[in-house]
Amino acid sequence: MCGRYASARKRHELLEEFEIELDSEEELEPDYNVAPTKDVYAVMSRVPRVEGAERPVRQLRVVRWGLVPSWAKDPSIGSRLINARMETLTEKPAFRRAFASRRCLLPADGYYEWLPQAEKKKQPFYIHPADGGVLAMAGLYEFWKDAEENWLVTCTVITTSAEDHLGHIHDRMPMMIPQDKWPEWLDPNVSDASTLLVPASAGRLTAYPVSTDVNNVKNNGSELIAPLEGGEEDNLLF
């Protein structure tokens, strides 16, 4: 699963990177320990709610991590729906409709996974693009309305099997969408995006051990992604 990630890029950087046409102008602070139920940036393509608008435009929105289906009785279900397995997207009621027309990209600098050690201890690893670029994690988003007619927008990260070297840390990883596939993935008029869900290109990602300080969601700062002193970069490539 993907349960923690880092997202420290400034809004203006994301606006340029993802060629955003409509900006919500909501600014989030750099977050090196993004956890479920936190607010995160999401890139989506929707028709603006303005007179005369007909085509979807690429937007940068702030949403909450943990998908709440429109039919949910209360938003607490979101804490259990932070990930959506690629293999069952078209089967699960919580994800099926969103996968058909509400796909998004969740920008990240990297993400964390924990490798089991002796005596039930786990060593956190920071996994990120080898070239320092942005990760465009495949995601889904959904709208939920409470009894007072207030809207909540939430998201989930799509995961896939981790193979080769990354698989020895954890058997799952976030699904990445390559830049040339962003337009199709985000297009709500593309009803079957299954062919766009392919493994990351070989050599794209690398990983190294980091401090267990990341285990506590209250800890936040660039020191969380610093290589562990004395630890060797594993060059875990996928």
Task: Write the DSSP assignment of 1-40 as a string of letters.
Answer: ----EEE---HHHHHHHTT-SEE-------EEEE-TTSEE
The percentage of the chain sitting over the pLDDT mark of 70, rounded to a whole number, equals: 91
Q: In what order do the strands lie in the sheet with 122-129?
A: 31-34, 5-7, 110-116, 122-129, 205-209
Q: Supply the pTM of this predicted model.
A: 0.93
Architecture category of domain 5-111+134-199 in CATH: Alpha-Beta Complex (3.90)
Query: Tokens 């562990």 map to which residue?
Result: 228
Contact residues for 232 (Cβ-Cβ < 8 A; gap 6+): 208
Q: What is the pLDDT of residues 80-110, one digit of tens each?
A: 999 999 999 999 999 999 999 999 999 999 9
Q: What is the pLDDT of residues 123-149, one digit of tens each?
A: 999 999 989 999 999 999 999 999 888
Q: What is the pLDDT of residues 26-73, one digit of tens each?
A: 999 999 999 999 999 999 999 988 877 789 999 999 999 999 999 999
Which residues carry out catalysis? 2, 113
Residue 20 has pLDDT above 80, yes or no: yes
**For residue 165, how many C-alpha atoms fall within 13 Å in the half-sphere facing its CB?**
15
Rg over CA atoms, the chain: 18
> What is d(CA 191, CA 215) in angstroms, rounded to the nearest whole number?
38
